[in-house]
Structure 1
């Protein structure tokens, strides 16, 4: 599941996040619900009545190691401005930080910034940074690091090198001129001394804290490296060379097996209690056995524990479960356009060069496919039914259900109706000419949809053949290809100069703002469908354009229009939003559960059995 980092959407993953972090990444995104209008609910197993934990009374203890489990290995990019998927975000969540973070109400609160001021016309926001913050290598954190991070994401070579976070910099003053190479003067973020930095926007900005919330990377490490070379630099990939300001340092790994984070003794909020956090790559099929035995201590994003395992894990006497609405969803995407090989090789995202995928170019074809898929069957209704055992629901809008902009009523609900799906295809001329049970296209040619999906998420893996069966039930021939590990899947998904038609991915969404541009803008790196809709672009820009966009009701109405348009155009079929099912051993104390994460303030975590 892709998760963007703290905004897992993700990727990544790539999450694929992004999956990933997305974190996806992800932080992606790798971002499920009972009632989207309710505040986050928490379901935590309890200790026996009358038991008192004496160790809590004695206060936190220093020392000890905890082990987390994730189902897929990170692809290997540990630089916030270039990571793509949620498994990478699992490392970055502990090593890197932004100027601000969020609390349990999703309000922005200080992190590396002490305070901030916004000018009267909302075109500038000035941050006063915390002093005394050190990078992992002992160098001082300063305003120059903030400037460099955003300048690097605005660099002309950034997108060509695989960077996908342009939504954080596109509104900045002078972005287009700097990004195009017309000028070498970066106006968007300006330092005034070591601990004061101002973000300048081309127009009044309705959510400046969102744009200023991205994790910061060290200027003294990367300024001597060309932006195009940063993704392959050891400083972006190798333990011991990945430098952040966070509570833990990324110090060692056995690639594809385990990843080791060690305490940052000089952490600005105080040295963490734990000695280390170890991430292990664990097959989902054996995860709960290891959890019960204490060989792993926590399972969270992306994926958490499988819905089918909830009741089993709930019976473990030493495990606490958190079930709450996830910021994300799983989807089956439609490759509407393919990039040219030349653009892939150069890293360009140029819609003018995209080659339409005629097999899926008609929205009515995509709508027929939506009616052919039994999404409620995937979710189930509990009692052992469906892949989710009822712990989630089908959704029709790609905005997080916890967000004020979410409007299910504006979107088209594609009910499971094979007969309707067949009728739509018949009317479009997709009929079985050869008598083999599968439809040919309107020109009488063979019509086969290639279907790709990644390994790592057991529910997603199990979804693929079910979806194939649903489509073949209405006469659509599907070539379900062998699943690939995320490290292989994501490049194929990103390059898309091949014959992909259908793909599966999971997104963890941003908890900071409902703006969907990071995933669905035409030139967004995560727009893997290569959806190119002028109407979508117009609405997304309208929803953030001042002065009207300062009115949240106005933004809600515009996003309602956008959600309607998305569900009609259908660049992807949203399959379901799965409840987050996080679990951790009760030997761990100090965990703070937020709506979008359980990794907040990890420096406060401690274990009762520390020696």
Structure 2
């Protein structure tokens, strides 16, 4: 549900095309060459997409949190580099790049003639401004969560601590050349240069602390990017309109408009069938229960591939103090342990009590897979050879709890804690995702079958849920959430590092942090085999200490009307080169 990295997408420049002049006989008596000529891209037309939860309203790439905002930003904003189907970095707003010998500097050469939606020219100063804003001392307190992109840069600590007004990490050499400088040799500098760029001329007069509430971060017509479409209109929580950017640097998009509608997940398939909706993709696509229905529709194409993310049952191991929440601080030294689930064996018992295979079969209709690691299977680093595999074993769950002294002392069917006190586990989940809404009571039932008293609370709308999750309401124990993972690198620090904003479990394990740091430490980490071994150890540790149980990774089921042409999906998104999308019935 929550997007970690917003990736601007592009084709592999070396991808070959069939010869358009090739002619072969077809059943209609004509030639394939003639048929292709009739199917040349047309300009015009409107495309309608659907998502089942409304964006929270943050359309500034350095501050957005949810996948619903990403559905807008994927079309309006871009990065210096993007990725191809093999997850290799390819040119974006930067046309080429080079690193120095010791991998401490990355110099990128920018495309010239790129304009923002308001006609201003895109330059290296915009890149510097973006990263300087993320490094700003007020960024985290204002709600920013993307500091992972600036932490390795030269001078970050001095700048964020207010010791200097100069940020050395990103430097404009000239209008079309920018250099990223790292404090230490960096094994993957393009990853840190892959963040979405915002315009300096729009935000330069707005303090970082005030950016999230500024109209330039929220209002149609004032949200300015370099992407193929402009965000021009909205009926909040109902409809969001994108219009083509005629001055787009890769060529004027074929489509005139893309309209996003917010609709209930239960009616999405019907709207797709009737033609009122043309495509359903991120964050969760069509419901697995509707797969066969959609497949039977003669005018709908389905893209099915492993998801680049997963659903979790998170364990709130620690809570922040009220003072830290108010100040925006993430200070592990102040965290208060959640004694109800502090022992990792309790978390392991809960994991054994949950029938993950049953959830996949019953809710996903088999279109998903169990993961025992929080690293995506598509990455070379995925390795569950030494992780704990929590198969459904309620007897094991009960045995663990018995050994810990959690037994039913008053014959009410629920276990008390070792001191004989009532032991109630609070569980929270958001609305919007039908699979998650259906999972919550099933998980409650599974846990109660082994004697765990679960207080399943009323679900909240996603934006309110994320706010409470971030602020660490002190009585949270279990929570449901989904992650759309970044595709640039398997480094899990952004989710599971102790001080990571997305570490909602408030997992504080020094060994985990040490392993994640080792996997990025040059020169050893220049060797992928070395990193793979380190991540193997980290995945084993994660599965044992268990800050969250990975419930499942469902298959991505993206669907679109066959009036839409030019779709070439990537492993992590359907929104690849949307300026080349076109509709056959354009007039």
So what's the TM-score if we normalise by structure 2? 0.95
Give 1:562 shift. Answer: 0.3
Q: Structure 1: which 5+ residue stretches go unaligned? A: 9-25, 27-48, 381-385
**Bigger shift: 358-367 or 495-504?**
495-504
Going from structure 1 to structure 2, the CA distance change for 1:428 and 1:588 (only over 3 Å counts) comes to same
Aligned to 1:356: 337
Match of 2:138 among 153, 157, 160: 157
**Bigger shift: 431-440 or 240-249?**
431-440
CA contact (8 A) 1:332 1:504 kept: yes
Give 1:2 shift. Answer: 1.4
Q: Structure 2: which 5+ residue stretches go unaligned? A: 10-25
Give 1:5 shift. Answer: 4.2
Aligned to 1:292: 273
Q: Matches of 2:453 and 2:327 in 1, distance apart?
A: 34
Aligned to 1:83: 64
Q: Matches of 1:586 and 1:69 in 2, distance apart?
A: 16
Aligned to 1:493: 469
Aligned to 1:122: 103
Aligned to 1:377: 358
Q: Matches of 1:262 and 1:85 in 2, distance apart?
A: 22
Give 1:410 shift. Answer: 2.4
Can you list the C-alpha shifts for 1:34-58, whole angstroms capped at 9, x where unaligned?
Answer: xxxxxxxxxxxxxxx9688947644
Can you list the C-alpha shifts for 1:63-106, whole angstroms capped at 9, x where unaligned?
Answer: 00000011111111111111001011000000000000011111
Aligned to 2:51: 70
CA contact (8 A) 1:73 1:281 kept: yes
CA contact (8 A) 1:4 1:89 kept: no
| 1:507 equivalenced with 2:483 (yes/no) | yes
Aligned to 2:205: 224
Partner SS for 1:192: strand
CA contact (8 A) 1:340 1:497 kept: no
Give 1:387 shift. Answer: 0.5
Aligned to 2:92: 111
Aligned to 1:254: 235
Partner SS for 1:98: coil
Can you list the C-alpha shifts for 1:112-157, whole angstroms capped at 9, x where unaligned?
Answer: 0011010000000001111100011111101010001111111111
Give 1:350 shift. Answer: 0.8
CA contact (8 A) 2:107 2:180 kept: yes
Going from structure 1 to structure 2, the CA distance change for 1:185 and 1:243 (only over 3 Å counts) comes to same
Aligned to 2:505: 529
Q: Matches of 2:205 and 2:241 in 1, distance apart?
A: 27
CA contact (8 A) 2:114 2:248 kept: yes
Match of 1:402 among 368, 378, 392: 378
Partner SS for 2:293: helix
Q: How does 1:186-265 map to 2 (within 5 A)?
A: 186-265=167-246
Structure 1 vs Structure 2 CA RMSD: 1.4
Q: How many residues align?
A: 567
CA contact (8 A) 1:454 1:485 kept: yes
CA contact (8 A) 2:7 2:194 kept: no
Match of 2:393 among 390, 409, 417: 417
Q: Matches of 1:581 and 1:58 in 2, distance apart?
A: 26
Give 1:280 shift. Answer: 0.5
Q: Matches of 1:348 and 1:55 in 2, distance apart?
A: 59
CA contact (8 A) 2:126 2:199 kept: yes
Can you list the C-alpha shifts for 1:533-552, whole angstroms capped at 9, x where unaligned?
Answer: 10000000000000000000
Q: Matches of 1:220 and 1:350 in 2, distance apart?
A: 34
Partner SS for 2:2: coil
Aligned to 2:162: 181
Q: Matches of 2:5 and 2:492 in 1, distance apart?
A: 16
Aligned to 2:419: 443
Rg (Cα) greater in structure = 2
Q: Matches of 1:250 and 1:50 in 2, distance apart?
A: 45
Partner SS for 1:342: helix
